[in-house]
Amino acid sequence: MSATTQRRCVQVLNEALHELFATREDVVLLGEDVLDPYGGAFKVTQGLSDAYPDRVLTTPISEASLFGVAAGMALRGRRPILEIMFGDFIALGMDQIVNGIAKFREMYDDQVTVPLVVRTPMGGRRGYGPTHSQSLEKLLLGVPNVCVVAASECHDLGALLVHAVEDERPVFFIENKLMYGRPSRRPEDGHIGELAVREAGGEYPALTFSGNAFDDASATVVTYGGMLPVVLDAVTELILEHEIFCEVVALSQLLPLDLDPVLESVARTGALVTAEEGTLTAGVGAEIAARVSELAWSDLRRPVRRVAARDGIIPSARTLEDAMLPRVEDVIDVVLALEGVRS
Amino acid sequence: MAALPDLYERMRFIRRFEETLLDLFSQGKLVGTTHTYIGQEANGVGVIDHLDPEVDVVFSNHRCHGHYLEFTGDAYGLLCEVMGRAPGTCGGKGGSQHLCKGNFYSNGILGSIVPVATGIALAEKQKGTGAVSTVFLGDGALGQGVVYESLNMASLWRLPVLFVVENNHYAQSTPIELELAGSIPARAEAFGICTAELDTTDVEEIHAAAGRAVSHVRETSEPFFLVLHTYRFSPHSKGDDTRDPAEIEERRTRDPLLVAGARLDSAEREAIDARVEERLAEVVAEAEAAPEATPEAAVL
């Protein structure tokens, strides 16, 4: 696809919302500043309220309650999409998420479902500082009965969002601030750029990338969301500068974790690196590392390594933020440090 | 409108059901916890009589048995649920505080239910069902910020929510003087919500006021905030009562069952009481004979 026809990720998500509103009367959207002409802080809802004024609701700044309002609507047969302006603000909704949204279906003995979608952007690298830059999706991984989907620029964003709205489970749809403005990059003839790509899984598939047609590779790097372009840059540089080939698995479904594509790749490579933008401790990578160690110990020839943000705040100043968040060089360094990789 | 003997019978049933639960606890036949409605029966009965279980929605709190019995009439499902038996309303998964049947829901986090009830009203309004979403909360829940966020949204969006505050003057063991500042109705008035305030144990008075409140919500599709000052005779949950016994005794002189019962012919009242005992004994016998919830059933 030529650069002139490539759509930005924000446009793809916006078109998916328009398609959902056109095809389903029960879909409603609520959030802060979502009305036209503003169209949401990141412009994902542009045009929706003009087209569907009765189904798009701009709200007070009341996140703690909005999760509950959306839950109530979902319990009563609506398909609410709740836009939370910054992912950091899910912290305000944790009671509703943990003690309501995630519990209603099971504790009410399957008499109800809570089919809501929470759309929210995570991620830093924009200088927004400690409370508007975090990647907090890992907090949701400890909440049974919710589904966490992380969108990346290489996934079919529209299909992911449509599946999320049609899902009977509560879905946390994690977007990324830098992703919005980047081009949507879908595989063409099985490739994205120079890398071969395989797509596997159900409604929220994983993408597996290879720079040498899935021949021998030194390691598998598993990542998701806004960290994917960082990892792809790193593996490209490893090929060009070091002639080291890695496979990359980009998950879109973080919870429940489906690690089949990771296990398949690790069976080929014998080594695993996890890469995420969130902080290291008790992160997504920790859970993946534990599970792969349990399920594929015999395939692993060396310990799993994790790349993540330092356990601290995300400072505002560009230089300080850069030092805090995982960079291309961090991924490269961890791969190069794997025992036997440079042999 | 239900006649007084009917209202009395329902209050009497709730009272005896809750007393029976406490008995079963002391006999070791129940585990976990329970928060009984003893003393507050006139509120639930007076309000819920105006609701249609086929259309309207009730969201209740940790002290939900009275509301549940009045709205669903399902004593067997509730007792089985509290006893951990398979035929329980939620198969034993929810227990005393987490009930769901038809249009009835309850949850155990104070105040947390209020936004959900607000969202329910929003959905029902969008669907055009004409449903009233009623949420029961207490003085303790007024300490939670989401209550005020919900009042704001319910008023702003003109949602059909009936907020019923049962002020029993204690948040667990803490008297209201130590947990609440200012006026309760003024909280809702500040958001432009119509309010009414009653300090009575007379089910007929509560019933009349609640009728006006429900009509207001139904006819205007706007919220209403009904404050019922009340008192629980029983502990917060089971044995945890540090209140002055003299205070409880004084309150018992205004027991809603005494107030309503005094207006009935004594023969009629005794007949009702006997009928309640008979029904309750049947429910207890059936629940005790019901199978325990099994782990296989607990897998969704």
Which of the residues A107, A110, A112, A118 would you substitute to probe the B interface, choosing the one with the greatest number of B C-beta atoms within 10 Å? A107
Conformational region of residue B47, where left means phi above 0, alpha means psi within -120 to 50, and beta covers everything else: alpha
Does residue B55 sit at the A interface (CB-CB below 8 Å)?
no
Contact B153 A59 (CB under 8 A): yes
Partner residue opposite B90 with nearest CB, options A57, A66, A108: A108
Q: What percent of chain A has a predicted confidence (pLDDT) above 90? A: 97
Is B176 inside a domain boundary? yes
Q: Which residues numbered 128-187 in B keep a CB inside 8 Å of some CB on A? A: 133, 145-146, 149-150, 152-153, 156-157
Number of domains comprising chain B: 1
**DSSP single-letter state for residue A227:** G
**Average pLDDT, whole number, for chain B?**
96
* Least Cα separation, residue A19 to chain B (angstroms): 20
Nearest CA in chain B to A114: B116
Query: Closest Cα partner for A40 from A151, A184, A175?
Result: A175
Which residues in chain A are classed under CATH 3.40.50.920? 191-337
- Whether residue A2 is predicted with pLDDT greater than 60 in this model: the reply is no
Partner residue opposite A107 with nearest CB, options B98, B146, B153: B98
Q: In angstroms, rounded to a whole number, what is the distance separating the alpha carbons of residues B76 and B68?
A: 11
Count residue pairs from A and B with Cβ separation < 8 A. Answer: 123
Does residue A75 sit at the B interface (CB-CB below 8 Å)?
yes
Strand, helix or coil at B171? strand
> What value does the mean pLDDT take over residues B265-292?
97
Tell me the pLDDT tens digit for each residue of A94-130.
Answer: 999 999 999 999 999 999 999 999 999 999 999 999 9
Nearest CA in chain A to B124: A76
* Least Cα separation, residue B77 to chain A (angstroms): 13
- Whether residue B1 is predicted with pLDDT greater than 70 in this model: the reply is no
Which residues on neighbouring strands pair with residue A28, listed in sequence order? A80
Does residue B64 sit at the A interface (CB-CB below 8 Å)?
no
Does residue A246 sit at the B interface (CB-CB below 8 Å)?
no
Does residue A103 sit at the B interface (CB-CB below 8 Å)?
yes
- Whether residue B68 is predicted with pLDDT greater than 90 in this model: the reply is yes
Q: Can you give the pLDDT at residue B236?
A: 84
Partner residue opposite B118 with nearest CB, options A64, A69, A103: A69
Is B300 inside a domain boundary? no
> Which residues in chain A are contacts of B62 at CB distance < 8 A?
none
Pick the range with the lowest mean pLDDT from A2-11, A270-279, B76-85, B253-262: A2-11
Nearest CA in chain B to A62: B149
Partner residue opposite B107 with nearest CB, options A57, A67, A100: A100
> Which residues in chain A are contacts of B293 at CB distance < 8 A?
none
Q: Which of A18, A132, A155, A242 is catalytic?
A: A132
Contact B112 A73 (CB under 8 A): no
Angle, vertex CA A109, rays to CA A104 and CA A112, nearest 5: 50
Query: Closest Cα partner for A208 from A243, A234, A247?
Result: A247
Nearest CA in chain A to B147: A65
Q: Which helix (H) or strand (E) holds A74?
A: helix A63-75
* Least Cα separation, residue B125 to chain A (angstroms): 10
Partner residue opposite A76 with nearest CB, options B89, B99, B120: B120
Q: Where residue A1 falls among pLDDT bands split at 50, 70, 90?
A: very low
Q: In angstroms, rounded to a whole number, what is the distance separating the alpha carbons of residues A115 and A117?
A: 7
> What value does the mean pLDDT take over residues B60-81?
98
Does residue B86 sit at the A interface (CB-CB below 8 Å)?
no
Tell me the pLDDT tens digit for each residue of B7-57.
Answer: 999 999 999 999 999 999 999 888 888 899 999 999 999 999 999 999 999
Contact B112 A96 (CB under 8 A): yes
> What value does the mean pLDDT take over residues A207-233?
97
Does residue B90 sit at the A interface (CB-CB below 8 Å)?
yes
A132 is catalytic: yes
Tell me which residue range forms the domain holding B64.
4-294
ipTM of model: 0.96
> Which residues in chain A are contacts of B122 at CB distance < 8 A?
57, 69, 72-73
Are B293 and B84 within 8 A, CB to CB?
Answer: yes
Is B210 inside a domain boundary? yes
> Which residues in chain A are contacts of B94 at CB distance < 8 A?
107-109
Q: In angstroms, rounded to a whole number, what is the distance separating the alpha carbons of residues B264 and A47?
A: 64
CATH topology of domain A191-337: Rossmann fold (3.40.50)
Which residues in chain A are classed under CATH 3.40.50.970? 9-181
Does residue B109 sit at the A interface (CB-CB below 8 Å)?
yes
Q: Note the maximum CA span of chain A.
A: 64
Composition of chain A by helix, strand, coil, percent to 5: 35, 20, 40
- Whether residue A24 is predicted with pLDDT greater than 90 in this model: the reply is yes
* Least Cα separation, residue B50 to chain A (angstroms): 21
Tell me the pLDDT tens digit for each residue of B99-124.
Answer: 999 999 999 999 999 999 999 999 99
Query: Closest Cα partner for B48 from B183, B162, B150, B181?
Result: B162
Buried (b) or exposed (e) across A284-321, using 16+ Cβ within 10 A?
bbbbbbeebeeebeebbeeebbbbbbeeebbbeeeeeb
Please give the backbone phi and psi of residue B216, each rounded to the nearest 5 degrees, phi first: -60, -50
Partner residue opposite B112 with nearest CB, options A68, A77, A106: A68
Does residue B117 sit at the A interface (CB-CB below 8 Å)?
yes
- Whether residue A338 is predicted with pLDDT greater than 90 in this model: the reply is yes
Q: Can you give the pLDDT at residue A329?
A: 98
Token digits of residue B164:
């019923």
CATH topology of domain A9-181: Rossmann fold (3.40.50)
The CATH number linked to B213 is 3.40.50.970
Partner residue opposite B115 with nearest CB, options A65, A78, A112: A65
Are A60 and B153 within 8 A, CB to CB?
Answer: yes
- Whether residue A8 is predicted with pLDDT greater than 90 in this model: the reply is yes
Contact A107 B118 (CB under 8 A): no
Token digits of residue A293:
């160690």
Query: Closest Cα partner for B31 from B92, B102, B101, B113?
Result: B92
- Whether residue B185 is predicted with pLDDT greater than 80 in this model: the reply is yes
DSSP structure string for A27-46: EEEEETT-STTT--TTSTTT
Tell me the pLDDT tens digit for each residue of A152-203.
Answer: 999 999 999 999 999 999 999 999 999 999 999 999 999 999 999 999 989 9
Helix-then-strand count for chain A, H and E = 13, 14
Tell me the pLDDT tens digit for each residue of B128-177.
Answer: 999 999 999 999 999 999 999 999 999 999 999 999 999 999 999 999 99
Contact A108 B93 (CB under 8 A): yes
Does residue A228 sit at the B interface (CB-CB below 8 Å)?
no
Which residues on neighbouring strands pair with residue B101, listed in sequence order? B104
> Which residues in chain B are contacts of A107 at CB distance < 8 A?
90, 93-94, 98
Q: Can you give the pLDDT at residue A15?
A: 98
